[in-house]
Chains A and B, each alone.
Chain A
Amino acid sequence: MSARYLGQRLLQAIVTIAAIVLLNFLLFRLMPGSPERILLRNPNLSQQVVEATRARWGLDKPLIPDQLVSYIGSTLEGDLGYSFKFRGQPVTSVIADRVGPTLLLVGLGELISVFVGIAIGAYAGWRRGGVVDRVGSGVSLVLYSMPYFVIGMPLIVIFAAGLGWFPTSGMTSVGGGDRPFPDNIIDLARHLALPLATVSLGLIGQYSILMRSAIIETRSEDYITTARAKGLRDGRVLRAHAFPNAMLPMVTLIAINLGYVIGGAITAEIVFSWPGLGTLTVTALQSRDYPVLQGIFLLVAVSVVLANLAADIIYGLLDPRVRR
């Protein structure tokens, strides 16, 4: 991969992030509802108090340029402002508290489903029409087409409410996080099991379906016939020739999904009351918490852009044709 290719990708990423910052600012100000009403929570306040509050939070100044300039300035300094809802707390710390649980849930889910989904998809595509293909592709399609809450709710009904094997919601039992060493991990794992299964199942469906079609496409390529003509074992033809080529389109997809990891699987987090970025987004939306919403959207957008940058770099390493 040349420095020029890398430089182009980097420049592209920077321009995109700049556009995102601008859009991020405007988008939430176009939303109906006013923050001071929610801040004060009292419909019977005098106009004077409302005005004073607006002035204190800088809401009386014009959107452009004053509010925009101060927004960009402080964003560059790493200051995302203070939450309206969680009074006094900086947005950065509100978000930082929620990043860990989301990374744990969705990150682990991605990891599991990348391996399992690609393995199932590759095998199903290679042995098209076989048992794994027929059963696996059917199940995958059903999982892929179901939103997380549709996968999650039956799991709660059966394994939490019915069998009572796992807790229904949350990340820890009351005081569970403070227990001595293996107990706190076990407590976390019991809470993690169902939401993780939900996220993984949905992603496995997606990855296996796409990997299957990528493998089927490469299977009919001439170089596969060449590999067979060489008298190589079937497994070697798959591993050394079909798989690396089928992975090319998968890399982009996985990287883009990784970008969304940080945004959390909103519906999965809501169903299981998982204290991650997804639930935070919903709370912030409900309370018109502009600074927190901006912070979350900025974080998600920047991670998608960075994940795409990573995809371009990995793609460049895997496919010699883009290395120039």
Chain B
Amino acid sequence: MTAEIRGRRQWPLPKQADPAAPLLRVNNLQTHFQLGRGWVKAVDGVSFGLDDGEALGLVGESGCGKTTTALSLVRLLPSNGRIRGGSVELFGIDLVPKTDRQLDRYRWREISIVFQGAMNALNPVVQVRRQIAEPVQYRLNQSESASLKRADELLDMVGIPSRRLGAYPHELSGGMRQRAMIAMALACDPAIVIGDEPTTALDAMVQAQILVLLEQLRRDLGLSLILITHDLSVVAETCDRVLVMYAGRVAEEGPVSRVFTEPRHPYTRKLLGAFPNIRSDRRTLETIPGEPPDLVNPPAGCRFAPRCAQAMPVCAGTLPPEVSFDDGVRVACHLFGTTA
């Protein structure tokens, strides 16, 4: 699978890449934001992997660090954000110690991003096809005409009719803009596409169309996908594995089929319970009492302990270790401390 997908690359691997290394391995990533009163530990010790052609869903409530985790991969952080620990290994190359200038080689050509609500993510005064052509021209050093030709092919690939080629962002519908954004993300034939809530602002029909498109492109182009969303049904439909985050840490991670049918972490269970199911006749949804902890001074033990119905004395004082199960699921919870 890996060799087959890498064989399809249009552009060579980065020079320092180890062809035998896995696509992406994130180890103990710590991304913090500096505020007046201290460091906000938005991402605090997150590890995960992504293989060629795989789709990983990143879920959790707002502010749990899923977007920060994804943007840390190519260090697209606000000026007060720092990666203070851990590694991000792409083809075996650690991106964390790279300078911004060195990191530019990996941005878009290896890891591109489909931002949420494509309205503001597209420059309002530049034609959409020129924005798509831009990375081809400036990152792959193609001529302007070749770049525009590539942009037109990409727009065709995502289903934007050719008469809309000269359109500006405001002339396209929300769904069309999201398609254009996807076309732009594919411009340099990247290995990984990060979707940052790519369907959030769209209505249900368009949402479904965009997901079908992403799924089809992933299969056709051999992309690996990181999908950030708080819509668990999107993950269920499109992802192979799911990573549930809570307050900057991994709660549970594993194959979608396992995690969704047999959630182990109390937070995952609550999260699945809080999601409406169209086929159930239950009228009230479960909610989780309390609110996420302050990430400047997080609790010493499990960060979910203050809200957890099954909390034990140990939870308040000791960080739960991550425990791996035979079915590929990994859980950070003291309930499973002894079973592994």
A residues at B contact (CB < 8 Å): 221-223, 225-233, 236, 240-241, 244-245, 248, 318-321
Assuming the contacts A230-B108, A231-B104, asked whether A320 and B139 have C-beta atoms less than 8 A apart, the reply is no
Q: How far is the CB of A231 from chain B (nearest CB, A)?
A: 3
B residues at A contact (CB < 8 Å): 74, 76, 103-109, 112-113, 115, 117, 120-126, 134-135, 138-139, 168, 170-171, 184
Across the interface, which residues of B come within 8 angstroms of A226, CB to CB?
A: 113, 115, 121-123, 184
Cβ contact of B134, chosen from A222, A232, A320, cutoff 8 A: A232
Q: Smallest CB-CB separation from B171: which chain A residue?
A: A320
Q: Are B135 and A320 in contact, with the CB atoms below 8 A? A: no
Across the interface, which residues of B come within 8 angstroms of A230, CB to CB?
A: 107-108, 112, 134-135, 138-139
Q: Are A229 and B124 in contact, with the CB atoms below 8 A? A: no
Q: Could you list 17 examples of A-B contacts with CB < 8 Å? A: A222-B115, A222-B120, A223-B120, A225-B76, A226-B123, A228-B107, A229-B115, A231-B103, A231-B108, A232-B104, A232-B138, A233-B138, A240-B126, A244-B123, A245-B123, A320-B125, A321-B170
Given contact pairs A225-B121, A232-B134, A319-B125, a sample of 11 additional A-B residue pairs in the complex whose CB atoms are under 8 Å apart: A222-B115, A226-B184, A229-B108, A230-B107, A230-B108, A231-B107, A231-B135, A231-B139, A233-B104, A244-B123, A318-B125
Across the interface, which residues of A come within 8 angstroms of B122, CB to CB?
A: 223, 226
Assuming the contacts A229-B108, A233-B104, A320-B168, asked whether A223 and B135 have C-beta atoms less than 8 A apart, the reply is no
C-alpha gap A229/B109 in the complex (Å): 10
C-alpha gap A229/B100 in the complex (Å): 11
Q: Are B76 and A229 in contact, with the CB atoms below 8 A? A: yes
Across the interface, which residues of A come within 8 angstroms of B124, CB to CB?
A: 223, 245, 319-321
Q: How far is the CB of B150 from chain A (nearest CB, A)?
A: 14
Q: Are A244 and B120 in contact, with the CB atoms below 8 A? A: no
Most buried by B among A221, A223, A227: A223
Cβ contact of A229, chosen from B113, B120, B168, cutoff 8 A: B113
Count of inter-chain pairs, beta carbons less than 8 A = 75
C-alpha gap A227/B122 in the complex (Å): 9
Q: Smallest CB-CB separation from B138: which chain A residue?
A: A232
Across the interface, which residues of B come within 8 angstroms of A221, CB to CB?
A: 120
Across the interface, which residues of B come within 8 angstroms of A241, CB to CB?
A: 123, 126
Q: How far is the CB of A320 from chain B (nearest CB, A)?
A: 4
Across the interface, which residues of B come within 8 angstroms of A229, CB to CB?
A: 74, 76, 107-108, 112-113, 115
Across the interface, which residues of B come within 8 angstroms of A225, CB to CB?
A: 76, 115, 121
C-alpha gap A106/B26 in the complex (Å): 60
Q: Are B170 and A320 in contact, with the CB atoms below 8 A? A: yes
Q: Are A245 and B113 in contact, with the CB atoms below 8 A? A: no
Q: Smallest CB-CB separation from B112: which chain A residue?
A: A229
C-alpha gap A126/B107 in the complex (Å): 21
C-alpha gap A76/B104 in the complex (Å): 63
Across the interface, which residues of A come within 8 angstroms of B76, CB to CB?
A: 225, 228-229
C-alpha gap A203/B120 in the complex (Å): 32
Most buried by A among B121, B123, B134: B123
Q: Are A236 and B168 in contact, with the CB atoms below 8 A? A: no
C-alpha gap A230/B184 in the complex (Å): 9
Across the interface, which residues of A come within 8 angstroms of B109, CB to CB?
A: 231
Q: How far is the CB of A220 from chain B (nearest CB, A)?
A: 9
C-alpha gap A124/B79 in the complex (Å): 16
Q: How far is the CB of A313 from chain B (nearest CB, A)?
A: 16
Cβ contact of A245, chosen from B125, B135, B138, B168, cutoff 8 A: B125
Assuming the contacts A320-B124, A321-B124, asked whether A231 and B134 have C-beta atoms less than 8 A apart, the reply is no
Most buried by B among A222, A225, A228, A231: A231
Across the interface, which residues of A come within 8 angstroms of B112, CB to CB?
A: 229-230
Across the interface, which residues of A come within 8 angstroms of B117, CB to CB?
A: 222
Across the interface, which residues of B come within 8 angstroms of A228, CB to CB?
A: 76, 107
C-alpha gap A319/B126 in the complex (Å): 9
Q: Smallest CB-CB separation from B120: which chain A residue?
A: A222
Q: How far is the CB of B208 from chain A (nearest CB, A)?
A: 24
Q: Are B108 and A240 in contact, with the CB atoms below 8 A? A: no
Q: Smallest CB-CB separation from B75: which chain A residue?
A: A228
